[in-house]
Amino acid sequence: MGEAMDCRGVDLSGAEIRGDVEGRNPPIFLPRQPAASPLVALDIGGTLIKLVYTASCEGGGAGAELRFAKFERRRLQECFDFIRAKGLLGCNGTRSGKENVPLKATGGGAYKFSDDFREKLGVCLDKLDEMDSVVSGANFLLQNIPGAAFTHMNGQRNPVDVSPNNLFPYLLVNIGSGVSILKVTGNRKFERVTGTHIGGGTMFGLAKLLTGCKSYDEFLQLSQKGDNFVLDLIVKDICGELVCQKQGLSTSTLASSFGKVITSKKRLTDYKPEDLASTLLSAFTYNIAQIAFLVASLLGLRRVFFGGSYIRGHKSTMENISFAIDFWSQSQMQAVFLRHEGYLGALGALMSYGDLSGENLTLEESKEKEPHHESAAPVDGTLSDEENDSNIFPYLLVNIGSGVSMIEVIGKGKFERIIGSHLGGGTILGLARLLTGCSSYEEFLELSQRGNNLSVDLTVGDIYGEEGYPKIGLPASTTAASFGKVNSSKLSDYKIEDLAAALLNSFTYNIGQIAYFVANLSGLKRIFFRGAYVCGHEKTMDKISRSLKYWSKGEVQTTFLCHEGFLGTLGAFWSYENMGIDSLAAHEVIREVLLGAPYTGQFPSLPVTEQQENGENNTLEGEIESLRNNNAALKAEVDRLQSENAELRAKLRGATL
């Protein structure tokens, strides 16, 4: 193209944070960086454009400063105007032949908007791989900037002294519109191990629909004023305060996000936006933290760093993540956050100036060098191998009620509750009632079958274009962020069928993903699902089956404990007693099964509210009785099948004779 080779680089010697060190994204002082020739790099994501550039120091003096700016992606023109106003393209926004060098950029938008930059600014974009850039940006902060890493727990922010010589390996959880989770083993050495479609885009998309907020910062401000106890189902709501005291349970333990909505007669307009925002924030930050904990455990990592533009230095966000990681790891892991966490990709892209090694691969170059790590979106199919009483153990039992409990069963009467999730059937139906007005789970499922989730879900293709992100094996059709395409704050702008389809996809796939991680962590190859929100509902079972097949690459067997459509599996189980869960009513086990999340509310010191809707106090005895009834029904069905089988065999013998 006849462009000059760019030999300018970033001199990091003596780099330090200047200005208000407690403020958001303060400048980074580079004492040996020349300010005469500015450098600029962009990270154009699914929602935001993040920009990092060098500029002269405030008040003059030697060196330069790294400064930070962000814009909504839909307001691309504002970004163009800013670049011109700051003189980041040379004199009056034009480039001389001497300065004719590409502009460093990363993120999916670098591909989608390349022509816009050429037409509006007269520059071409040097497009860098997003994951490479994010890791380079994180390593830059951790290895060069004192005070870049910190913890935030119990309202206290404490710096973390990270030795560059003892940094690797670590887990990097980057929360953007979706979430990418990377294992980093060195400079430019990493692997994207997994991700989740429930991220910042999901929170913001649902926040727009439920609260009418116009910006993510407005959503965070609302959440600070709200009380999630108004909508969340907690342990006290299920078994009462007396049982909680007897079992030593925390009354405020979160059982089901949005679970109270199920039995309430309130409509969306009857809830305060602040309470809705608080519930959304706790629900999804806990979920992200839980997945991060499970992945770190699988990889044997104890150091987990969180970055991404959706953290925003927000205290409640960091508190939720920190407490959840500490709770699930039994204080063996610590959540560590990064200054300038939303600019990791842009910082990494900026560091590539002057890099002549060729190690900063563009996406096109990386296609030939990197294998695909993930397949396409979940596809049809379940596994249905024959089982018998002798080889059924061990297995993972996933009970999907209002929340989710996961129990490892190793033999008759031998089992242990491993973990739970607060995003269960109660969350799905609670949100469905608020968003669609449906009155039952069956009505919700019927709506979802007529909907198109792509009307509201953000895909990889929406971010990167029709080629997708081939380096990490993500085709254009892969969901990047559930509800990430929601732009309007008017609920009436969307079809309730499409919202129902997006809800079913997001939460069933999430349950399947967590179940796979738990089974993998426990070395289990067999997962059984039961519960009111899955058994007998073909659409739900299909989604979970697809999810398990996708995440496990077909290595984990998925079976559902229900009657309709699965009579052939009943003979393998005989009864719940033969499955090893006959002692489910034991007090010590009940105590474990009910624990789903570390706490509710923004801070653990918040008092538990006394407000309870009629019908919310489902007793523990009722759940036990339900299990017994299910057990009796299964026994009766097995007896009937055995009787029919004996009759058929007798007829066959008679016909043969």
pLDDT, position 186? 95
For residue 261, give the DSSP letter: G
* One domain for residues 112 and 77: yes
CATH number at residue 73: 3.30.420.510
Tell me, yes or no, whether 418 lies in a domain.
Answer: no
Percent helix, strand and coil across the chain, each to the nearest 5: 45, 20, 40
In terms of Cα–Cα distance, which of 429, 395, 401, 396 is closest to 623?
401
Instruction: Look at residue 278 and tell me if it is in a domain.
Output: yes
Q: What are phi and psi of 414, to 5 degrees?
A: -120, 105
Residue 176 has pLDDT above 60, yes or no: yes
* pLDDT for the residue numbered 148: 92
**CATH number, position 474:** 3.30.420.40
Tokens 């011109």 locate to 84
Q: At what angle do helices 538-552 and 441-449 cross, to 10 degrees?
A: 70
Query: Do residue 66 and residue 19 come from a single domain?
Result: yes
**Span 303-328, pLDDT tens digits:** 999 999 999 999 999 999 999 999 99
Domain housing 57: 10-89+100-128
Q: How many CA atoms lie within 13 A of 146 on its CB side?
A: 7
d(CA 480, CA 347): 23
Residues 160 and 44 in one domain: no
What is the per-residue pLDDT for 617? 40
Nearest CA to 36 out of 63, 67, 6, 58 is that of 63
- Asked whether residue 112 falls in the same domain as residue 60, the answer is yes
Is 533 inside any structural domain? no
Per-residue pLDDT at 418 = 87
CA angle in degrees (0–180, nearest 5) for 528-534-538 = 105
pLDDT for residue 365: 43
185 and 52 fall within a common domain? no
User: What pLDDT score does 175 carry?
Assistant: 97
Decide if 508 contacts 441 (C-beta within 8 A). no
- For the chain, how far is it from start to end, CA to CA, in angstroms? 87
Phi, psi of 180 (to 5 degrees): -110, 140
Pick the residue with more confidence: 437 or 37?
Answer: 437
**pTM of the complete model:** 0.83
Q: Which of 239-248, 355-364, 404-413, 552-561 has the lowest mean pLDDT?
A: 355-364
Maximum Cα–Cα distance for the chain, whole Å?
A: 106
pLDDT score recorded for residue 251: 76
3-state helix/strand/coil string of 160-211: CCCCHHHCCCEEEEEECCCEEEEEEEECCEEEEEEEECCCHHHHHHHHHHHH
For the ranges 221-235, 239-253, 543-557, 641-655, which has the lowest average pLDDT? 641-655
Average predicted confidence (pLDDT) for the chain: 82
In this prediction, residue 583 carries a pLDDT of: 44
User: 109 and 153 share a domain?
Assistant: no
**pLDDT given at position 126:** 94
At residue 178, the pLDDT reads: 94
DSSP annotation of 151 reads E
Q: Count how many domains the chain has.
A: 2
Q: Are residues 173 and 309 in the same domain?
A: yes
Which of 466, 488, 510 terminates a domain? The answer is 488
Exposed, middle or buried, 361 (CB in 10 Å: 0-12/13-18/19+)?
Answer: middle
Has residue 623 got a pLDDT over 60?
Answer: no
- Rounded Cα distance, 535 and 540, in Å: 8
Give the residue carrying structure tokens 């994010």. 134
Task: Spell out the residues 6+ positions from residue 643 whose beta carbon is closer than 8 angstroms to its own.
Answer: none
The closest alpha carbon to 502, from 209, 271, 277, 302, belongs to 209
Same structural domain, 202 and 300: yes
Query: Looking at residues 38-56, what average pLDDT do you find?
Result: 93
Residue 327 in domain: yes
In a domain, 71, yes or no: yes
| Per-residue model confidence (pLDDT) at position 464 | 86
Dihedral through CA 295, CA 300, CA 303, CA 306, nearest 10?
A: -10
Judgement on whether residues 112 and 153 belong to the same structural domain of the protein = no
Work out whether the CA dihedral 129, 342, 225, 74 comes out positive or negative: negative
Contact 268, 210 (CB under 8 A): yes
**CA-to-CA distance for 170 and 313, rounded, in angstroms?**
21
Instruction: Examine the fold and report which residue of 488, 503, 538 is the final residue of a domain before the chain moves on.
Output: 488
pLDDT at 155 exceeding the cut of 70: yes
| Chain segment 361-402, per-residue pLDDT in tens | 444 444 433 333 333 334 333 333 444 445 788 999 999 999
Q: Is residue 622 part of a domain?
A: no
Query: Do 117 and 190 fall into the same domain?
Result: no
Least confident piece of the model among 121-135, 322-336, 464-478? 464-478
Q: With cut-offs at 50, 70 and 90, classify the pLDDT of residue 636.
A: low
Same domain, residue pair 123 and 208: no
Q: What is the pLDDT of residue 472?
A: 83
Asked whether the beta carbons of 267 and 231 are under 8 A apart, the reply is no
Region 218-223 average pLDDT: 97
Residue 184 — left, alpha, or beta (φ > 0 → left; ψ -120 to 50 → alpha)? beta
Comparison of pLDDT for 318 and 636, the residue scoring more: 318
Q: What is the DSSP string of 399-428?
A: EESSSEEEEEEEETTEEEEEEEES-SHHHH
Res. 571 pLDDT band, cuts 50 70 90: very low
146 preceded by cis ω (within 30°)? no
Q: Is the pLDDT of residue 653 over 70?
A: no
Residue type, 429: L
629 or 70: whose pLDDT is higher? 70
Q: Do residues 36 and 113 both lie within one domain?
A: yes
Residue identified by tokens 């979430």 is 179
Who has greater pLDDT, 28 or 251? 28
| CA separation for the pair 279, 218 (Å, rounded) | 15
In a domain, 143, yes or no: no
Is 356 a domain residue? no
The per-residue pLDDT for 386 is 41
pLDDT at 553 over 80: yes
Q: What is the pLDDT of residues 501-515, one digit of tens each?
A: 999 999 999 999 999
pLDDT: is 628 or 551 the higher one? 551
- Of 472, 488, 504, which residue sits at a domain end? 488
Respond yes or no on whether the N-terminal peptide bond of residue 394 is cis (omega within 30° of 0): yes
* pLDDT per residue as tens digits for the range 123-154: 999 999 999 999 999 999 999 999 899 999 99
In order of 211, 240, 342, 428, the CA distances from 432 in angstroms are 15, 26, 31, 6
